[in-house]
Structure 1
Amino acid sequence: MKKLHLTSLGCAKNLVDSELMLGALELGGWQAVEDPAEAELLLVNTCGFIRPAAEEAVDEILDLAEYKEGDPTKKLVVTGCFVQRYGKDLQDALPEVDLFVGIDDQQRLLELISQLADGKAERLILSQPSCSLISSAQPRRLSTPPFRSWLKITEGCDNRCAYCMIPAIRGKLRSRPASDLIIEARALEQGGVKELSLIAQDLTAYGSDLGGSLASLLRQLLAETSIPWLRLLYLYPASVTDELLELMAGQPRLLPYLDIPFQHVSSNVLRRMGRRYGRQDLDRLVSRIRSLIPDCALRTTLMVGFPGETEEDADELLDCLQRWQLDHVGVFPYEDEEGAPAAEFQPKVPDEVKQERFARVMEAQAAISQQRLRRLVGREEEVLVEGLSQETDLLLEGRARFQAPDIDGCVYINEGEASPGELVKVRIAEAHVYDLVGGIIS
């Protein structure tokens, strides 16, 4: 069989695209290999959301291009958000690449690679990201362990945040039909999936273009599958409804975990960001969640150093973190993105000030996260076993309901035996800054 090496960069949504491309290529006679030196086809699915991601993409492309030296039969193909955003400029900047493929043309990848082999392919294939939508009918090769998977329920985004290029890269919101998502979820369940994480640029926007809603989709997933863990990632703060929270409160299979990117807490900063809510709205949201789902773990993302952010805004952010006591917080310093409205905003926050604010928020949240975990010592928690620990073969590693894959901490299991994919009861004995330690009791 012909051999390919696939590198997938960026978020879980991008990873699903990679899994679909891999599924189609395998069906077309290609075999995936870990070692790029063995591959005839070197394929990179890139992220281009922010500058560091674009820089990572360039580094990966140049690293793989070295494998082509002295072997003209190897082909280097680059696709994804980086291509969609910068495609026309990349042809001159990266002569090492044989074929650039935009997002909407990924479903034609097998055909395009065949044309490349025959010397008939154009070097840049770039359509406007406006109509493509994945389907359960497409072959998909999971890259995750067989007991967990992602379910991408929409494509594109209609939120026009001042700092974000996703609508320009991915196009307008397109929701997948609920019937198609049910088919895919059933197939994943039959394949052994115990944890299904729903992902989108904004989960709460699901169905707004079809006359449906996220809550309605969840009811169908609950009725049509028996997957024990359903997790929700990436919800827009202003669109989290009581209907959704009440459904979660009454359905234990909907994990008490919500990833809601706030981006900031200052009403002034949020207004400049183009976010459709203010600090009081966030106060009410946190209060509603804690009232309806008392044990819900809350994750958010925060940006420091947005143009015009004052010291008072930064202090307000820290004050809210102390009051809200969130479980997981990701923080990053703002950077201008070419083409985004915020790139023109003034005044800019100096880099040293951004780094100082970043460090303050990270330090404050580390203490909060550890305090939140300490309250779990002595409790029994259901844990999905991932396998042997990455730290040592003497421990097992798993995740509790309040720990999402790849982004949160884990539970180290120091007593008992279990296989990857098992759901076991663990008594928590120790709490660290981001991780827990305990032994299996059943």
Structure 2
Amino acid sequence: MTLGAKIPMCAPIMATKIPEAPKVGMVSLGCPKALVDSERILTKLRSDGYQMSADYAGADVVLVNTCGFLDSAKEESLEAIGEAIAENGRVIVTGCMGNEAELIRAKFPQVLAVTGAHQYEAVVNAVHEASPPIPNAFVDLVPEGGLKLTPRHYSYLKISEGCNHRCSFCIIPSLRGDLASRRIDAVLREAEKLVHAGTKELLIISQDTSAYGVDTRHEARQWKGREVRAHMTDLARELGQLRTAEGTPPWVRLHYVYPYPHVDHVIPLMADGLLTPYLDIPFQHAAPSILKAMRRPANEAKVLDRIRKWRDICPDIAIRSSFVVGFPGETEADFDYLLQWLDEAQLDRVGAFRFEPVEGAAANDLPGAVPEEVKEERYQRIMERTAAISAARLQAKVGRVLPVIIDEVGEADEDGSIGATARSQADAPEIDGNVFLRDVGEGLAPGSILNVLIEDADEHDLYGVPSV
């Protein structure tokens, strides 16, 4: 520019108006595997430019991820669909009950679309059609690790879909298909991203975690310069190498573990502190005749021996399971056998269910239906027996110092004391017990892991104070 030249005035700056993205609401029902499906769907929609709505009124479309495993779960799903239609009107149904599209459409002809379990592309396309996305290059839409429906400090990691078992009471294979394992490198990459994003506890889920990789002949992939097989033992070993930002191993909790022989090989990893000493094993029953009718392995005596060996290797291992009472043909002798087995097994956490016919399940045709009042009486007895076992095992922890993970921190009371709700390594979120703490320090946040002195216990929970 020459001296004395006239400097041009700047053109006015026009503000860029970012178009408002359509909003999606989500109602997620059923098991943690369905929750992971919901997270994946929402992550994809967020990457496509959608916002998330916390209520019906603010949503342009509402997704209902249904459960269809039991008739009671189907009723809950239908109620949720009806509520979403009444509150919003624009509803897309997905999930396990999506296999019964005719039933859903007959009851709710207003639904915009119905898709089945883990049909991510179909449900996303349905949302696109119902409320087209508005691309936006100005906003970073997806956080590292994707969108989560759980607190930041714990995450579910799904390693496979479907199941190869044909249990007589179950319709999972017809809902979700046969076993389909994810690539081992993809699973480990997701686990690493979750931990880097702040996850302190990984909950490994599938329909059958022990069978991981069977369908791919345990195909090996390169990971961190070495070959790793799609196999439960390789997966467990590699997950044990993960480290949080603080340099500590995250808690890694194994769910839905069938007691195959190779499960023995993960117990030493628990003893070494690389895996959380916790196994969730779906035993379902113990009486040989009932296990046979359920089409499940009838090796309950051998399992008791293995549990003893697991506890010899890792004394702090916690074992949880669930059992069905009132299965067709279950006699009083069968039920007493189950109670005696539980007395020997001394499982840490137990859930029980009254047998409920599921449309399409082979068990519905079995003879010897158990009257409802007998089911209820047996349910009450098994819950009473397992509560007594739980109380005794928790009482044995009084006076010990245990690591816990913080889920929630309360407000200071009139004396300035702050309490918190936590979990020990024996407690998975939402299904097991809690550790209730007193006199925690200021600044404690969810996800913190600290040692606490256990002062008291009841049938399901522990009570303690941070260890000095």
Same fold (TM over 0.5): yes
Instruction: State yes or no: 1:233 paired with 2:249.
Output: no
The letter of the residue matching 1:220 is E
Q: How does 1:5-44 map to 2 (within 5 A)?
A: 5-44=25-64
**What is the CA–CA distance in structure 2 between the aligned matches of 1:261 and 1:313, rounded to whole Å?**
18
**Residue 101 of structure 1 pairs with residue 115 of structure 2:** yes
Question: Displacement, 1:140?
Answer: 2.9
The within-5 A match list for 1:32-431 is 32-68=52-88, 74-84=89-99, 86-117=100-131, 140-210=146-216, 211=218, 212-223=230-241, 225-226=243-244, 227-239=249-261, 241-249=263-271, 251-388=272-409, 394-417=418-441, 418-431=444-457
Amino acid of the structure 2 residue aligned with 1:65: I
Deviation at 1:245, TM superposition (A): 2.3
Q: Residues 17 and 424 from structure 1, CA distance in 2 versus in 1: closer, same or farther, beyond 3 angstroms?
A: same
Give deviations 1:340-372, integer Å, cap 9, x for gaps.
110100110111000000000001111111111
Q: Which amino acid aligns with 1:83?
A: G
User: Please, which runs of 5 or more residues in structure 2 have no aligned partner?
Assistant: 1-20, 133-143, 219-229
Distance in 2, matches of 1:145 and 1:336, equals 34
Code of the aligned partner of 1:408? D
Whole-angstrom CA distance in 2 between matches of 1:247 and 1:253? 5
SS, match of residue 109 in structure 2: coil
How many Å apart are 1:378 and its aligned residue?
A: 0.7
Contact 1:326–1:368 at 8 Å: present in 2 too? yes
Distance 1:274 1:110 in 2: 37
Tell me, yes or no, if the aligned pair for 2:205 and 2:254 is still in contact at 8 Å: yes
Residue number in structure 2 paired with 1:129: none
Measured after TM superposition, the shift of residue 147 of structure 1 is 1.1
Structure holding more helix per residue: 1
Do 2:96 and 2:116's aligned partners in 1 also have CA atoms closer than 8 Å?
A: yes
C-alpha distance after superposition, 1:379-407 (max 9, x if no partner): 001011112259x9952011111111110
Cα distance 1:51–1:389, how it changes in 2: closer, same or farther (>3 A)? farther
| Deviation, structure 1 residue 242 | 2.2
Q: Which amino acid aligns with 1:223?
A: Q
Q: CA deviation at 1:239?
A: 4.8
Give, in whole Å, the separation in 2 of the partners of 1:99 and 1:377: 54
TM-superposed CA distance for 1:104, in Å, is: 4.7
Equivalents in 2 of 1:170, 1:420: separation in Å? 34
- Aligned-partner SS, 1:167: helix
**Whole-angstrom CA distance in 2 between matches of 1:188 and 1:238:** 28
Name the aligned partner's letter for residue 230 of structure 1: V
Does the CA contact (< 8 Å) of 1:379 and 1:428 recur in 2?
Answer: yes
- Tell me which amino acid in the other structure corresponds to 1:222: G
- Distance in 2, matches of 1:40 and 1:419, equals 34
Q: Distance in 2 between matches of 1:213 and 1:239?
A: 13
CA distance in 2, matches of 1:369, 1:183: 37
How far 1:253 sits from its partner (Å)?
A: 2.6
- Report the Cα offset of residue 216 of structure 1: 0.8
The change in CA–CA distance for 1:240 and 1:338 in structure 2 (over 3 A counts) is: farther
Contact 1:79 1:106 (8 Å CA) reproduced: no
Q: In the aligned structure 1, how far is the partner of 2:63 from the partner of 2:261? A: 37
Task: Please say if residues 166 and 295 of structure 2, whose CA atoms lie closer than 8 Å, have aligned partners that are also in contact.
Answer: yes
**In structure 1, what is the Cα distance between the partners aligned to 2:253 and 2:62?**
33
Distance between the aligned counterparts of 1:260 and 1:239, measured in 2? 13
Contact 1:238/1:281 (<8 A) preserved: no
Matched residues in 2 for 1:186 and 1:317: separation? 41
Equivalence for 2:14:
none
Aligned residues of 2:209 and 2:256 also touching (Cα < 8 A): yes
**1:432 alignment partner AA:** D
Identical counterparts, % of pairs: 39
Pick from 429, 432, 437 the counterpart of residue 458 of structure 2.
432
Cα distance change of structure 1 residues 32 and 16 upon mapping to structure 2, 3 Å threshold: same
Bigger Rg, structure 1 or 2: 2
Question: What is the CA distance between 1:284 and its match in structure 2?
Answer: 2.2
Equivalent pairs, count: 416
Structure 1 residues without counterparts, runs of 5 or longer? 69-73, 119-137
Structure 1 residue identity aligned to 2:439: E
The answer on whether the counterparts of 1:47 and 1:53 sit within 8 Å (CA) in structure 2 is yes
Aligned CA RMSD, in angstroms, stands at: 2.0
Q: Which TM-score applies when normalising by structure 2?
A: 0.85
